Structure 1
């Protein structure tokens, strides 16, 4: 994609027919909903030093004890700013910012600020949201969130791409000289990776997304998703997925299912990731939440034994 060939965050993790690896923050194993966040910056810096392609943060405004996870706890924009100051080259991604819950001006101001301060390292995963408790709290009608997602998307794109946009939207109007600064770093845009369906038609996602983030599936099921994505897009747009892993000390442990992933040894993990690469998956976001080993040791094993097969593009 020519638009993003100079974007450091994009080009570090995305290349046609290649797969790279990133890590969800917090990089720790924990039970329940709330992580400790101990040594979280040291772990992020170590991930960069070890050669992981990206760090991913989540957007979870409210603690819902019935949902099972609050991600990194901190506000994603403030936390991305903190990560920007403490890292140098690793891609900073969101998985994902819930667009209907925020005004597009706030989104544009925050995203372009992070993109400038990080020198183009931001990859923005976006979604319509899936936590039912959030929408009434924000006074948003749950059935209308698909429309709200589109309206916010169009408004956001205009703010990034035009100096003084004329906007007449259900979420706001700009009818005189006004715009958002800063603009994105090294480009007039920021890569927008759409998550799941985001309550949109598939053709709309293919036309308007700069990539597609999907959920873990079997190799056969995921190959069908990737094939549909490639057929719907005329130029290369990356396909991403998350994967929870509980990496065992025994490298030969056969895979057994856990929530959205597997408990397995590294040999089977490498085989599974190579299968994903073969069908066209371009980036896998590993999540260590359900691990039974120390996350730092797991990260080191991944870096020494797995990452060499799936290097990022410095």
Structure 2
């Protein structure tokens, strides 16, 4: 049986590090100026060098690469187009240009997609990547999208649970669907595709702990993160689960060129030198965070410079990296 992508991403008790896509600098002061000059609305990323950056992150040994599912660009209420591309089409492209990095979604909005379409797309990505896929899933947080897709928003939690069940059934290798009359192919390389809950998705932590494989949360302060992890562990203990499933989060990073630069926080992250970043990450590891994905959209330095510095000085402190 193949090793799951979740185990490849987090092979031990040590915290590991990945990246979020898009890897642009559009939320930095210079990036905002450049976008305005080009006529790009806020939230629409510059994807000109996306393939180069993805290859570099893979080559440098980052453990994961996360992409989002945003069907419609909503400039008035959300102002974030994610990485522009359809997540499954983009994953197929990323499979072809990377070799080792775990590919993950953060997250597929299940109530807006038919679960069998999602199951087939996900197992296709898993086959093409040789078992390098983790699917983050969510119920969706943009009210405008539900009526467009003919979904009653108040039903999204129930639809989500049904979708999880249907996908898991479709991925089973030892049985067919609909009274053994039909099958959904291809099957995953992995025993089943690991599912990570993004947020709570109107579900209880008990349900998430029992039915999904990891919990991905927004970046929070240390105290709030520790409280969340405590609740997560309790949900496992309440059901007699002796080992807690991974707790994953992100960090919006503006890595300062001076290693000793103190942290200057902003929403979801900070402008920070690598030495203070190391201290912060080790604190997250100590309280039980399993994996952190860096978001670079606030970066005031070129993405390759930041990736190389992290690979040289930060990744080795947490997991083995390539030379």
Q: Does TM, scored on the shorter chain, surpass 0.5?
A: yes
Deviations 1:80-106 (A, max 9, x none): 000001111110011111111100110
Helix, strand or coil at the partner of 1:181: coil
Q: Please give the alpha-carbon distance, in whole angstroms, between the structure 1 residues aligned to 2:116 and 2:136.
A: 17
Aligned to 2:196, which of 179, 193, 196? Answer: 193
Aligned to 2:15, which of 16, 19, 23? Answer: 19
Alignment of 1:95 with 2:106, yes or no, is: yes
Aligned to 1:181, which of 178, 181, 185? Answer: 185
- 2:196–2:215: 8 Å Cα contact kept in structure 1? yes
Return 222-231 or 270-279, whichever deviates more: 222-231
Aligned to 1:298, which of 290, 293, 306? Answer: 306
Partner of 1:221: 224
Q: Please give the alpha-carbon distance, in whole angstroms, between the structure 2 residues aligned to 1:70 and 1:21.
A: 24
- 2:173–2:187: 8 Å Cα contact kept in structure 1? no
Residues 282 and 312 of structure 1: CA distance in aligned 2, closer, same or farther (over 3 Å): farther
Q: Please give the alpha-carbon distance, in whole angstroms, between the structure 1 residues aligned to 2:267 and 2:183.
A: 44
Partner of 1:311: 319
- 1:97–1:127: 8 Å Cα contact kept in structure 2? yes
Residues 116 and 312 of structure 1: CA distance in aligned 2, closer, same or farther (over 3 Å): farther
How many residues were matched structurally?
302
Structure 1 ranges of 4+ moved more than 6 A: none
Residues 150 and 268 of structure 1: CA distance in aligned 2, closer, same or farther (over 3 Å): same
Partner of 2:37: none
- 2:107–2:137: 8 Å Cα contact kept in structure 1? yes
Partner of 1:76: 87
Q: Please give the alpha-carbon distance, in whole angstroms, between the structure 1 residues aligned to 2:310 and 2:74.
A: 32
- 1:244–1:289: 8 Å Cα contact kept in structure 2? yes
Q: Following superposition of structure 1 onto structure 2, how do residues 30-45 of structure 1 map, counting pairs within 5 Å?
A: 30-31=26-27, 32-45=42-55
Helix, strand or coil at the partner of 1:275: helix
RMSD: 1.7
State the TM-score, normalizing by the size of structure 2. 0.89
Q: Please give the alpha-carbon distance, in whole angstroms, between the structure 1 residues aligned to 2:295 and 2:162.
A: 31
Deviations 1:206-234 (A, max 9, x none): 11111111111111211121122123221
Residues 147 and 313 of structure 1: CA distance in aligned 2, closer, same or farther (over 3 Å): farther
Partner of 2:57: 47
Partner of 1:255: 263
Alignment of 1:133 with 2:144, yes or no, is: yes
Partner of 2:275: 267
Partner of 1:170: none
Helix, strand or coil at the partner of 1:200: coil
Q: Please give the alpha-carbon distance, in whole angstroms, between the structure 2 residues aligned to 1:80 and 1:95.
A: 12
Q: Which runs of 5+ in 2 are unaligned?
A: 28-41
1:165, distance to aligned residue in structure 2 (A): 4.8
Partner of 1:171: none
Deviations 1:130-164 (A, max 9, x none): 11221111111111111111111111111112555
1:70, distance to aligned residue in structure 2 (A): 1.2
Partner of 1:202: 205
Residues 204 and 312 of structure 1: CA distance in aligned 2, closer, same or farther (over 3 Å): farther
Q: Please give the alpha-carbon distance, in whole angstroms, between the structure 2 residues aligned to 1:16 and 1:148.
A: 34
Residues 93 and 23 of structure 1: CA distance in aligned 2, closer, same or farther (over 3 Å): same
1:175, distance to aligned residue in structure 2 (A): 5.2
Helix, strand or coil at the partner of 1:93: strand
Deviations 1:87-126 (A, max 9, x none): 1111001111111110011001000000011000001111
Q: Please give the alpha-carbon distance, in whole angstroms, between the structure 1 residues aligned to 2:290 and 2:245.
A: 9
Q: Which runs of 5+ in 1 are unaligned?
A: 167-173
Q: Following superposition of structure 1 onto structure 2, how do residues 130-169 of structure 1 map, counting pairs within 5 Å?
A: 130-161=141-172, 164-165=175-176
